[in-house]
Amino acid sequence: MIYSRIIGTGGYLPDQVITNADLERMVDTTDQWILERTGIRERRRAAPEQTTCDLAEAAGRRALEAAGLKGRQIDLLIVATTTPDHIFPSTATKLQERLGGAGYPSFDIQAVCTGFIYALDIADRYIRTGGANTALVVGAETFTRIIDWTDRGTCILFGDGAGAVVLEASDTPGILHSRLRADGRYRKLLWVPAGVSEDQREAKDQRPFVEMRGHEVFKWAVNNLSKIVDEALAECDLTRADLDWLVPHQANTRILAATARKLGLPMSKVVMTVERHGNTSAASVPLALDEAVRDGRIRSGDMVLLEAFGGGFTWGASLVRF
């Protein structure tokens, strides 16, 4: 039996820090208001000349270095992003060239904040079925490019960044199980109204910025994240007590805390970076994972649950043995 294991992680954050004090000068908000509702103190913003591919490259190279591999030694590359450099070509093909690779499958996927979980599951299936031996999976976003900086409900939440993992074929299980879900009926609760293929006569008043009905998103996310976690655990004949770490999508501290309560997990078992990173969409789970691996919290043998929820709606969970 062929399995896949994570053998390296990497992360990258742009240099520019936007604090709550900075936002106080931009919109009608306060540091206290932001902290009480989100737990976020600061977020990162890509420089004008930086693209999503630039962030993905930095994170990808660090993951490859941690795995002891060169870019030409992988044979599958997936980039999860909502903010690609171009409509086409894909960000993944640009990244493939930069890493010195050619010929192997490279593509983007779009599932917003759940994108990395989707990409991880796809790479795992490639390896399990013999379609690849080594894969680089990246979540990368320049999400601040689709934020209305006059909307205090959304501009306080999001930031830019990238995270990555390297998977390798193994005879021992690493990615134990992934469970993915989507429900398009709720798409307008969290979406960007403007698009490419919409009839422009109908879309002329729509703007290419995130719109969110926060209260409804919060309730839906908390209820459904705990369900999918239990589904993933049951599939592997595991219980919540078997988890060493929960690495959730870093949406805001209220969602993280509510999800942990529903799962009966102490916050000491939850990896949290949202205070310093904000919500980096598809990058948030691999960024948090990389931080916890590099600072020694997540160790070999640990059982880790990755989970995320995003626009679409999409949501998913992956059980990983390190």
- Residue in the structure block whose two tokens are 């390896």: 127
Angle between helices 253-263 and 214-235 (to 10 degrees): 40
Q: Which residues of 200-220 are buried (b: 16+ CB within 10 A; e: fewer)?
A: eeeeeeeeebbbbeeeebbeb
Six-digit token pair at 108?
A: 């983007």
218/59 Cα distance (integer angstroms): 29
Catalytic site residue from 20, 53, 113, 252? 113
Q: Is 113 a catalytic residue?
A: yes
Catalytic site residue from 20, 155, 177, 249? 249
- Residue in the structure block whose two tokens are 């002891």: 68
Six-digit token pair at 192?
A: 């960007």
Where residue 65 falls (left for φ over 0; alpha for ψ -120 to 50; beta otherwise) is alpha
- Residue in the structure block whose two tokens are 């995320």: 308
Q: Is 86 a catalytic residue?
A: no
In 3D space, the residue among 75, 306, 79 whose CA is nearest the CA of residue 169 turns out to be 75
3-class secondary-structure state, position 225: helix
Q: Is 279 a catalytic residue?
A: yes
What is the set of active-site residues? 113, 249, 279
